[in-house]
Chains A and B, each alone.
Chain A
Amino acid sequence: MQLDWSPLILSLVLAAVTTGLLLVLGIPLAWWLVRRKTLVRHAVTAFVMLPLALPPTVLGFYLLLALGPHGPLGALAERWSGASFAFTFTGLVMASMVYSLPLVVQPLAAGFERLDMRHLETASVLGAGPWDRWVSVTLPLLRADLLTGAVLGFIHTFGEFGVVLMVGGDIPGRTRVLSLAIYDHVQSLEYHQADLMSAVAVGMSFTALLLLYLAQRRR
């Protein structure tokens, strides 16, 4: 029996790319959400958190519409490169970002909320400009929250099923991630293969969470 591990590699790459992009996007978004004291902030927060509440199929359905040839993003991509985002790896990354955004933004927003402004004030009086303060004060103070956001975003993306099925379409080698491969094995009654892959998923997610909590305990 030959077991194809490429879905595992694909899942890992997808989770890594998504998490990296989410950190880049999530840091300014969380900062904006915490600093903004108007009602708009709550509307945006609710919208950011929405993927946690929706069934993944609902989310996946709308994302498919948006990224497909008739959706706004998909149409744009089609005009640009001749193909929409539906059933592509890029589409998967975009959908995963929406899906995992709340898990990255939430710990970061909590971190910014807790941030003691006196640290930044002290740094500025000591001669640190805005960018310098970001690098030397804000990011070190948010290290634990960044780690939490990154790990949660990673394993959440790693474990998704509904959204990748809707948007990715389970194309082998391109959009067939681990969760889809496991589902296919079960459908074909290949329980042994499904078991092996599931065990890997459990082991990896558990290890990631364990390391996260160990790292948090040390602080």
Chain B
Amino acid sequence: MLEFQARLRHGAFALDVQGELPARGRSVIFGPSGAGKSTLLRLIAGLERGAQARIAYGDELWQDDARRLFVPPHRRCVGLVFQHPVFLPGCRVEQVLRYGWRRRGRSVRAFDFGSIIERFGLGPLLIRNVHTLSGGECQRVALVRALLAAPRLLLLDEPFSGVDEEARAVLLQELDDLQADLGLPMLYVTHAARETVSFADHLLLLEAGQVRALGAMHALATDVSLPLARRPDAAVAITTEFVRHDPQDGVSCLSFADGELWVSESRPRETGRPRRVLVNARDVSLAREAPHGTSILNVLPAFVVELAELPDAAVVVSLRIGATPLLARVSRRSARELELQPGSRVYAQIKGVALLNH
């Protein structure tokens, strides 16, 4: 468990939060800019002084200002990747990477230097001067530098927001795989909703320095009273396993806990790892009867849990396929004509090409 309780004032901004996150898996702190996400992360790392805070991780008490107890950052064994990482000017990448490795990583030996360099494809960069790195390379080096210091908790402060979409997807995937392999707990700060949904297991919603909601990502992302589900780009992530690929039609079959999904892709993306498929609420349509002769690849029986009117004459519907949550965004008219209510049985239809990416 990561327990935190903090009060902090920076001019007009006040942070007043309390809660706990599991010390495993991927936790995301989500909220608009200025909500205090980075400040909370810095507090956990021990970089933010002048707060009234109590922070405990596992069985260690890191900070308790009421008892004047403060474990300095270099003894907290956390890794931190900033949005804009800094490197000492004039250093080569290898020197940068070895900084934390020499001080902490070498004695812990969770992995050896060479294997992690290889895993992240940093071999060719090692002799480069840090000022010649591109934005994506900088983030990669900063991430590996943090990992090499053998952290027990990895803190990421919007690490990929300055990176282009393609590189970001790759880095997120690598982070995902890393989490699966090392079981390293991660706490990820972002204001990007889709990144949140595709990455998080646990979620902390922060608004204006206060905790709006805290809990399992699936529950919060499909809660129609919370901002994530109400966004035009709302989505849920379904964790799937690869089953088979049909090369003639270019579709792959993926299974999840309560059914199967067909996804358009010319080549199978089989990695042997669970794969998160992002389903946009606006790509899900609903039918009362099982449709026949439809082009839609995925027709899944579901029931309505709750629904909410949105300002733009749309309705967001929270569904369950068995126990798997799903969101649909439909027009107010459709919701009325289908007489959607909590408990209604429907068929959720998802086009295979809508699942193309992710």
Residue of A nearest to B150 (CB): A127
Q: Which single residue of chain B is at the shortest CB-CB distance from A119?
A: B86
For residue A141, CB closer than 8 A to chain B, the reply is yes
Known: A121-B73, A137-B88, A140-B88. A126 touches B82 (CB 8 A): no
**Complex contact A121–B47 (CB within 8 A):** yes
> Which residues of B are found within 8 Å of A207, using beta-carbon distances?
none
B85 neighbours in A (Cβ, 8 Å): 122
Cβ–Cβ contact B88 & A127, under 8 A: no
* List of A residues within 8 angstroms of B46 by Cβ: 124
Interface residues on A, range: 10 to 19
- A window 122-151: CB within 8 A of B: 122-129, 132, 136-137, 140-141
A129 to B86, CA, bound (A): 18
User: What class of interface size applies to chain B in its complex with A?
Assistant: 20 to 34
- What residues of A have a CB within 8 angstroms of the CB of B104 in the complex? 126-127
Q: Are B80 and A119 in contact (CB under 8 A)?
A: no
A116 at the A/B interface (Cβ < 8 Å)?
Answer: yes
B31: Cβ under 8 A from any A Cβ: no
Q: At the interface, yes or no: B100 with Cβ under 8 Å from chain A?
A: yes
Which B79-106 residues have C-beta < 8 A from chain A?
79-80, 82, 84-86, 88-89, 99-100, 103-104
A37 within 8 A of B: no
B88 proximity list for chain A (CB < 8 A): 119, 137, 140-141
In whole Å, how far is B44's beta carbon from the nearest beta carbon of chain A? 11
- Flag whether A79 is at the interface (Cβ < 8 A): no
Expressed in whole angstroms, the minimum distance between the Cβ of B59 and any Cβ of chain A is 21
Decide: B74 and A129 in contact? CB cutoff 8 A: yes
B26 at the interface (CB under 8 A from A): no
Q: Taking the complex as formed, is A118 at the interface, i.e. its CB lies under 8 A from any CB of chain B?
A: yes
Cα separation A122 to B80 with both chains bound (whole Å): 8
Q: Are B45 and A122 in contact, with the CB atoms below 8 A?
A: no
For the complex, give the distance between the alpha carbons of A141 and B79 in Å.
Answer: 23
- B residues near A, CB below 8 A? 45-47, 72-74, 76-80, 82, 84-86, 88-89, 99-100, 103-104, 145-146, 149
Is the Cβ of A126 less than 8 Å from the Cβ of B47? no
Interface of A is mostly: helix
The answer to whether B146 touches A126 (Cβ under 8 A) is yes
Nearest-neighbor residue (CB-CB) of A141 within chain B: B88
Within 8 A of B (CB), among A74-111: none
Contacts of B82 in A (CB 8 A): 118, 122
The docked-state distance in angstroms from the alpha carbon of A141 to that of B88 is: 7
Which residues of chain A in 31-60 are interfacial with respect to chain B, using CB atoms and an 8 Å cutoff? none
List 20 A-B pairs, Cβ < 8 Å. Answer: A118-B82, A119-B86, A121-B45, A121-B73, A121-B80, A122-B82, A122-B85, A123-B99, A124-B46, A124-B72, A124-B73, A125-B73, A125-B78, A125-B80, A125-B149, A126-B99, A126-B103, A126-B149, A127-B100, A136-B99
Q: Name the CB-closest residue of A to B77.
A: A127
Q: State the Cβ distance, A167 to closest chain B Cβ, in Å.
A: 42
Known contacts A118-B86, A137-B88, A140-B88: A125-B99 contact under CB 8 Å:
no
Contact in complex: B80, A132 (CB < 8 Å): no
Contacts of A140 in B (CB 8 A): 88
Enumerate chain A residues within 8 angstroms of B74, measured Cβ to Cβ.
Answer: 124-129, 132
Query: Chain A CB within 10 Å — which of B72, B100, B104, B145 has the most?
Result: B100
Inter-chain contact A116/B149, CB cutoff 8 Å: no
Q: Is the CB of A116 within 8 A of B146?
A: no
Compute how far the CA of A126 lies from the CA of B100 in the bound complex, rounded to whole angstroms. Answer: 5
- The minimal Cβ–Cβ distance linking B242 to chain A, given in whole angstroms, is 37
Which A-B residue pairs are the 6 nearest by beta carbons?
A: A126-B100, A127-B103, A127-B104, A124-B73, A125-B80, A118-B86
